[in-house]
Structure 1
Amino acid sequence: MVEQIVKVLLTSVLVVSASEVAKRSAIFGALIASLPLTSLLAMVWLYFDTRDPEKVAALATGIFWLLLPSVTFLLVFPLLLRKGVSFVPSLLIGIGLTAASYLAMIALLKWFGGGDV
């Protein structure tokens, strides 16, 4: 139980740090948010929980392929905001298009024999 609490606290501190830094500097907040900290933490936690390098390798490979559709949100959301669409609709449209991109990528990976997807 203590291990789970430490994981949640450490992960939360990283996310809150990115938000707090972004209040002062968008570029440094973006730098922190763009670092693969969540991915790294997930791989570390998985390894220490399972001691299975194959599971960690599969996670890393899955993260790589699913990073590509996540770019959809980072393109669509700011574009909509700059075009005058309000925050909530921009957010929802960005999330919806990103979800569709994830589904398309998962379908492509399955089609081409993408392993654990």
Structure 2
Amino acid sequence: MLYYFIKIVITAVLVVLISEIAKRSTLIGAILASVPLTSVLAMLWLYIDTEDKAKISEFSSSVFWLVLPSLALFIALPLLLDKGVNFYLSLIISIGITALCYWLMVVMLRHFGVVL
């Protein structure tokens, strides 16, 4: 139980730290946010939990393929905001577009024999 608490605290502290840094410098915040901290932490926790290198490799490959559709959020959100759409609505629409892009990517990859 303590182990899970430590994992949650470390992960949460990093997210809060990045958001606080972004308040002072959007560039530095963006650099830190663009580093795949979540993926690295997930791989670290997965390895500590399982020591299964094949699972880490499979996870890493899946993340690679799913980075592309995740970029839709970073394209849609500023476009919607620039059009004057409310922030929360823009975020919801952008998340919906991103979810659709994830689905399309999974369908396309399956078509080409790549199973995530």
Whole-Å Cα distance in 1 between the matches of residues 58 and 111 of structure 2?
18
Q: Which residue of 2 aligns with 1:9?
A: 9
Provide structure 1 residue ranges, at least 5 long, that are not aligned to the other structure: none
Whole-Å Cα distance in 2 between the matches of residues 113 and 4 of structure 1?
36
Whole-Å Cα distance in 1 between the matches of residues 36 and 21 of structure 2?
17
Alpha-carbon deviation of 1:106? 0.8
Alpha-carbon deviation of 1:79? 1.1
Whole-Å Cα distance in 2 between the matches of residues 32 and 40 of structure 1?
13
TM-score by length of 1: 0.95
**Would you identify which runs of 4 or more consecutive aligned residues in structure 1 move more than 4 Å?**
none
Q: Which residue of 2 aligns with 1:28?
A: 28
Amino acid at match of 1:108: M
Q: Which residue of 2 aligns with 1:77?
A: 77
Task: Map residues 41-52 of structure 1 onto 2, 5 A cutoff.
Answer: 41-52=41-52
Comparing 21-30 with 106-115, greater Cα deviation is found at 106-115
Match of 2:90, SS?
A: helix
Task: Map residues 59-78 of structure 1 onto 2, 5 A cutoff.
Answer: 59-78=59-78
Deviations 1:28-67 (A, max 9, x none): 1111111111100101111111111000000000000000
Whole-Å Cα distance in 2 between the matches of residues 51 and 112 of structure 1?
30
- Number of residue equivalences: 116
Amino acid at match of 1:36: P
Provide structure 2 residue ranges, at least 5 long, that are not aligned to the other structure: none
Report the RMSD for the aligned CA atoms in angstroms. Answer: 0.8
Question: Do residues 39 (structure 1) and 36 (structure 2) align?
Answer: no
Question: Do residues 87 (structure 1) and 87 (structure 2) align?
Answer: yes
Percent of residue pairs bearing the same amino acid type = 49
